Structure 1
């Protein structure tokens, strides 16, 4: 097994998702994940506290990018324009690995109640990060919360469409998340 090889974290995530899809989340052990990734169990635990955390790898980074994009939006931006800036910033960091992993990750989550719960908590965390960033811009709490939730919905919808699209196309995730946000904005205007 390779020790201190570059990309161990990414290999662990890929190995785990593949094993979760192949044999189920509950039947997959940390030892199996480490072996498939070509690392030791101790390397696994240097990167993740347990196997649940593999599926939210990058959540802190994603939350930070969303918040930074919102914070850096122009001073006169509306709450949803600021959310759009956050989506654009976060989306710019998603590449081919994210696109390739998405369908397998979706299948693994769909097959496990525990992973569905963890995925829901991830959404809550992303919404909280956006809400906090909007409140820091002076947006009232209730408005910030709604905008943050719309941002999460837009990200999830855009990510799903992007990941299910033509892999040969070199299109940007931001195009999908911003289009989803525009659709949600239009839909919310019809709520009355």
Structure 2
């Protein structure tokens, strides 16, 4: 088997996704993924800690896409504007070329309860991290937690729409639409 080929990580992810779709997640082994990608199991484990990590790799980058824009915002930026900045930045994590992969990934996750729990855990980590960075910026409770929860809800709804079969708009446009809907909801309550 070839060793240290360029693009190995991406190839492993693509092959794994294909095998998961064809055979099911639970019936696919790391050995099969490595073999189909023409690498050794050892190479697989250089790139991923375990089989689920093929679907969940990049958590630090994902969190950073939300947290960095909040951390670097000018002092005095209102909490809702901080959330809007985070959602705008998160759109960079979901370019058009990633949509097909994201749709297929979500189908695998939706078909496996343990993977669904891990996905929910990822969102819970995002909420906690956003709450923490907001509190670090001086946003008081309960506003910091409400803003973090709101950001994750808007993100989750935006992502679900972005991967819908009949959707072709950019992630940013969908996220803006959701933020605008939330703004209208809050303003109508006054």
The TM tier, using the shorter chain, reads 0.7 to 0.9
Query: How far 1:27 moved relative to its partner?
Result: 0.6
Distance 1:162 1:63, change over 3 A: same
Query: How far 1:190 moved relative to its partner?
Result: 6.2
The C-alpha deviation readout for 1:131-172, integer Å capped at 9, x for no partner, is: 1221111112432122112111211221222233668x6x53
Partner of 1:9: 9
Q: Any gaps of 5 or more consecutive residues in structure 1?
A: none
Distance 1:172 1:74, change over 3 A: farther
Q: Any gaps of 5 or more consecutive residues in structure 2?
A: none
1:176 paired residue among 163, 166, 174? 174
Q: What does residue range 64-103 of structure 1 map to in structure 2 within 5 Å?
A: 64-103=64-103
Q: Do structure 1's residue 110 and structure 2's residue 110 form an aligned pair? A: yes
Distance 1:38 1:7, change over 3 A: same
Partner of 1:122: 122
* TM-score of the aligned structures, taking structure 2 as reference length: 0.88
- Look up the SS of the partner of 1:6 in the other structure: coil
Structure 1 stretches of 4+ moved >4 Å? 188-192
Query: How far 1:98 moved relative to its partner?
Result: 2.2
